[in-house]
Structure 1
Amino acid sequence: MRATLTPKIGLAGIQWMFFILTNTIVVPLTLGHVFQLAPGQIAFSLQVSFVLTGAACMLQAYWGHRFALMDGPAGVWWGFTLSIAASAAASGADMKAVGGGLAAGYLLSGLMMTVLGLLGFARIMRRLFNPVVISVSLFLLSAQLMASFFRGMLGVGEDGRMNPPVALLSVLIALFVAVLYLKGRGWVSNFAMLFGILLGWAAYGLAFPAPGSMPDYAAAVQGLFPWGSLRVDAGIMAASFIVGFINMSNTVTSLKAAEKLYGEAATESQYRRSFLVTGLMTLLTPVFGLIPFGTFTSSMGLLESMKILHRQALAIGGGLFLVLGLIPPLGGWFSGLPVSVGSAVLFVAYLQMFGTAVRSVEGTRFNSKTIYRLALPILLGVSIMNTPSVVFSALPVYIRPLAGNGLVVGILMSLILETCVNWTKLDIAKEKGYD
């Protein structure tokens, strides 16, 4: 979509920058601490994350899928990595060995995405991911993200308890953004998220003043593959293959949802280029202690709220984010955005994803039998999301992250049901009164 640079698109680019920031900032920080990296190495990984994510967004906007859909550290990989690391730490395993195994698994996943994408595997995935599977994916992703944002809004600490003052401010910020979006007109509604972040950040600074010193993000490179030297581990490799497939499905889900919003179908070439960009970025991530990239289906929430579809806005946001990585003091300052403020704003923005999930199955009829194709995978996935991870501790270590991931299990269940059950036959039989 061609667009002349206007103040409106420029502001949309700034809003995209904050969207990218709030979706990625926590990932390299948490993983750096999990794998016990030195502060200098964590800072360097953070900067590289900014640069690669910004570059990926710009490449996708202008050359890859050419939609305003963010690319960055994938949530499904983040959950998988944290689960593997937690299981390894609990069993006393060598974290360097585990980190090296994960790095090798990431490389396998990146290579798989690149090769399969170039070979046109998207055609097969597009057939597998019909409107019902896409709806299941969006419903489960909405549930997973909203739960995460809700915890962030509450200011939950290490003791597992909420911080009432922080929670109150978060609720007020969320209400402010919702009112701007629902009642505001024109620019006010389009940039409700941006206004919410800026005013919410200012309010947080006034309510909870912190020492004026800026975080030290002057990075010092302490070696490549910081999690550990490459190491082939059959269990991690097998699990990485499955997670990589699910991550590829996010691209298909995202592009199919974007097709409806943009009113134009993505070409086979767009799918190939999208997989190529994401796959190549994924091949770089383990070198710097980062997780594989993926297309953010959650971008649909921002697009639905902002109603500015120009890809140039995403490219501007990606470019600004890349600059934050190249200028450490600037990146360090923006990294101080309170988690509760970002969570409150995204909580409202992502409500639109639920609507996208509903619209994905518009026109599909359900009866007392065919409703299982939607209800079973969604409710199974939500049930697993709400089950404590310790419940799955009896399973083999490399199965736990998959069996305990409601999003992965729900999507796989939906794919199995859509592939193995003739729902049209059941629908006709029900209409004729057959049991």
Structure 2
Amino acid sequence: MRLAFSSAQWMVFIMTSVIVAPLSVGNAFGMSQPEIADVLQRTFFVMALASLLQGVFGHKLPILNGPAGLWWGVFLMYAGFVSSTGDPEVVLRSLELGLLISGAVFILVSVFRKMNIVENMFTPIVTGTYLILLVTQLSGPFIKGVFGVDYLSDGVNLVVAVCAIVTMILAVLLSRSQNRFLSSYSVLISLVFGWVLFAIVGIAKPMTSHVSSWFSFPELLAWGVPTFDIGIVLTSIFTAFILMANMVASMNVVAGVTGKQDELNYNRSGFVMGVNQALTGLFAAVGGVPMATAAGFISTTRIAERLPFLIGSVAMLLISLFPPVMSFFASIPMPVGYAVIFLSISSLIGLGFSNYRRELGDEKSVFIISVSLMAGFGSMFVPQEAWAGFPTALTSILNNGLVVGVLLCIILEQVMKSKSDQKEGAQTSE
């Protein structure tokens, strides 16, 4: 019984972590409701398969694979450029090729066993900066989601907000309960409660009527034959290297929570990640990455075992093959999804501070942290339109506060570390 509940909770967490990105990408490209449903199915399928492959053959940790914020941003950025190109299909087909190239980069780096270079860059300072900027970047969509923005209307909906906040309070109370059953399954219990509450109040959306068959396998290259675009190719190559750092950070964070630091194999995980990126391109979905949010989920629910995670991933994979079943779960009110995992996401800030703890006594470390966070936070407030006229590859970097802050943190630490080593070497020679 405990295994069944734990697996169901992992399935729900994977689902709520995946569902937002394909819906927003579909809307951004002006897709019809059936087309958005198909993108949702393909993304569910690929993310569940990727989680399973990593859990069995890759990092072998309970880390869900979800849409990467960076890929999500790249898709939305190019959706904004569609008005100038005039053909969204061409852009989508170019993004297919970009995902395939990203997968090839991952595989090459892993085959030549160079993933340790990325690993060495992710010190406690960089990991802490990554986590804090990640939560900051997610905080906007989460608060909007809980308040019901873009759910029933463009503005804040008071009824939706009250019901979502009640659900969130219940999730927090259950997670801190002395009863192990209630604390371990707080996400699942709160989700059911919130869904029922939304239905009773009359603000739960009906299931989509687009169900062409009971069983459907995701279509390969659904957007068409991949096409070459130099801007997207360059963006994809850079995205791959950033996602390597993202993957390493997620593995380090979850390994710290589960006590598996000694079992990490970055090259093996990177190879599987490359396969997963290529699969995302083949199935025309939003690119993914192992998500550090799993650490917050594990800390909140105390479910650190790998088996429930694998079963939850298999369940999610099977659900994606049955449109009626997926349609049922996809009808979960998004404000409820945001509310029940709000605590799991926010707890990552605590993990970020834990990484900083040993470094705050060093003046150089404080300087690096301060400058990196300031740059990352500031970049999040620069409107995308401000980068008009800049090269597309550069825009994808500068328009992402998480990327700006983490890159600056890595550069500053490596430069200051190099100077410190040179100074120590000179003193030794004297």
Calculate the TM-score normalised by the size of structure 1: 0.89
Aligned residue runs from structure 1 range 385-424, under 5 A: 385-422=380-417
2: distance between equivalents of 1:425 and 1:58? 43
1: distance between equivalents of 2:11 and 2:218? 28
2: distance between equivalents of 1:61 and 1:397? 34
1: distance between equivalents of 2:419 and 2:358? 14
- AA aligned to 1:387 is V
Deviation at 1:341, TM superposition (A): 0.4
- What is residue 134 of structure 2 aligned with on the other side? 141
- AA aligned to 1:316 is I
After superposition, what is the alpha-carbon deviation per residue over 1:303-356, rounded to whole angstroms, capped at 9, x for unaligned?
Answer: 110111100011011011111112111110000011100111111221211111
Residue 216 of structure 1 aligns to a residue in which SS? coil
1: distance between equivalents of 2:389 and 2:332? 39
- What is residue 340 of structure 1 aligned with on the other side? 335
Deviation at 1:82, TM superposition (A): 0.5
- What is residue 433 of structure 1 aligned with on the other side? none
Residue 324 of structure 1 aligns to a residue in which SS? helix
- AA aligned to 2:257 is L
Of 337-346 and 112-121, deviating more is 112-121
Residue 387 of structure 1 aligns to a residue in which SS? coil
2: distance between equivalents of 1:267 and 1:22? 29
Q: Cα–Cα, structure 1 residues 353 and 42, in superposed 2: closer, same or farther, change >3 Å?
A: same
Aligned residue runs from structure 1 range 294-305, under 5 A: 294-305=289-300
User: Do the aligned partners of 2:221 and 2:284 also contact (CA within 8 Å) in 1?
Assistant: yes
Residue 276 of structure 2 aligns to a residue in which SS? helix
- What is residue 151 of structure 1 aligned with on the other side? 144
- What is residue 361 of structure 1 aligned with on the other side? 356
2: distance between equivalents of 1:153 and 1:282? 31
- AA aligned to 1:416 is I
- What is residue 229 of structure 2 aligned with on the other side? 233
Deviation at 1:213, TM superposition (A): 5.6
- What is residue 120 of structure 2 aligned with on the other side? 127
Residue 399 of structure 1 aligns to a residue in which SS? helix
User: Given the alignment of the two structures, is residue 247 of structure 1 paired with residue 243 of structure 2, yes or no?
Assistant: yes
Q: Cα–Cα, structure 1 residues 242 and 12, in superposed 2: closer, same or farther, change >3 Å?
A: same
User: Do the aligned partners of 2:218 and 2:283 also contact (CA within 8 Å) in 1?
Assistant: no
Deviation at 1:184, TM superposition (A): 3.9
After superposition, what is the alpha-carbon deviation per residue over 1:208-259, rounded to whole angstroms, capped at 9, x for unaligned?
Answer: 2557665323378997433353222222211111111111111100111122
- AA aligned to 1:181 is S
- What is residue 324 of structure 2 aligned with on the other side? 329
- AA aligned to 2:328 is W
Residue 156 of structure 1 aligns to a residue in which SS? coil
Q: Cα–Cα, structure 1 residues 238 and 151, in superposed 2: closer, same or farther, change >3 Å?
A: same
Q: Cα–Cα, structure 1 residues 191 and 424, in superposed 2: closer, same or farther, change >3 Å?
A: farther
- What is residue 345 of structure 2 aligned with on the other side? 350
- AA aligned to 1:45 is V
After superposition, what is the alpha-carbon deviation per residue over 1:386-409, rounded to whole angstroms, capped at 9, x for unaligned?
Answer: 333222234334432221110111
User: Do the aligned partners of 1:41 and 1:221 also contact (CA within 8 Å) in 2?
Assistant: no
Deviation at 1:263, TM superposition (A): 2.2
- What is residue 42 of structure 2 aligned with on the other side? 48
2: distance between equivalents of 1:63 and 1:384? 37
User: Do the aligned partners of 1:146 and 1:347 also contact (CA within 8 Å) in 2?
Assistant: no
1: distance between equivalents of 2:205 and 2:247? 42
2: distance between equivalents of 1:23 and 1:161? 23
Deviation at 1:180, TM superposition (A): 1.3
2: distance between equivalents of 1:405 and 1:202? 37
After superposition, what is the alpha-carbon deviation per residue over 1:355-381, rounded to whole angstroms, capped at 9, x for unaligned?
Answer: 111111222234555412111111211
User: Given the alignment of the two structures, is residue 264 of structure 1 paired with residue 260 of structure 2, yes or no?
Assistant: yes
Deviation at 1:425, TM superposition (A): 4.6
1: distance between equivalents of 2:407 and 2:313? 32
User: Do the aligned partners of 1:43 and 1:217 also contact (CA within 8 Å) in 2?
Assistant: no
Of 122-131 and 369-378, deviating more is 369-378
Residue 361 of structure 1 aligns to a residue in which SS? helix
2: distance between equivalents of 1:332 and 1:93? 32
Of 401-410 and 20-29, deviating more is 20-29
1: distance between equivalents of 2:293 and 2:217? 32
> Where has structure 1 moved over 4 Å in runs of 4 or more?
36-41, 209-214, 219-224, 423-426
User: Do the aligned partners of 1:40 and 1:218 also contact (CA within 8 Å) in 2?
Assistant: no
Aligned residue runs from structure 1 range 17-416, under 5 A: 17-37=11-31, 39-86=33-80, 88-157=81-150, 160-209=154-203, 214-218=208-212, 224-267=220-263, 270-366=265-361, 370-416=365-411
User: Do the aligned partners of 2:207 and 2:328 also contact (CA within 8 Å) in 1?
Assistant: no
Q: Unaligned stretches of 5+ in structure 1?
A: 1-6, 430-435
1: distance between equivalents of 2:300 and 2:326? 26
User: Do the aligned partners of 1:71 and 1:296 also contact (CA within 8 Å) in 2?
Assistant: yes
1: distance between equivalents of 2:121 and 2:70? 19
User: Do the aligned partners of 2:359 and 2:366 also contact (CA within 8 Å) in 1?
Assistant: no
Q: Cα–Cα, structure 1 residues 243 and 186, in superposed 2: closer, same or farther, change >3 Å?
A: same
Deviation at 1:183, TM superposition (A): 3.4
1: distance between equivalents of 2:238 and 2:122? 16
User: Do the aligned partners of 1:113 and 1:244 also contact (CA within 8 Å) in 2?
Assistant: yes
After superposition, what is the alpha-carbon deviation per residue over 1:77-133, rounded to whole angstroms, capped at 9, x for unaligned?
Answer: 1112111221x1343443222222222211110111122122222211111111111
Deviation at 1:420, TM superposition (A): 1.0
2: distance between equivalents of 1:364 and 1:351? 22
Residue 51 of structure 1 aligns to a residue in which SS? helix
Deviation at 1:204, TM superposition (A): 0.8
Q: Unaligned stretches of 5+ in structure 2?
A: 425-430
Alignment RMSD: 2.5
After superposition, what is the alpha-carbon deviation per residue over 1:291-310, rounded to whole angstroms, capped at 9, x for unaligned?
Answer: 22211111111011011110
2: distance between equivalents of 1:347 and 1:257? 18
- AA aligned to 1:375 is S
2: distance between equivalents of 1:93 and 1:319? 40
- The count of aligned residue pairs is 420
2: distance between equivalents of 1:310 and 1:222? 30
Residue 64 of structure 1 aligns to a residue in which SS? coil
- What is residue 428 of structure 2 aligned with on the other side? none
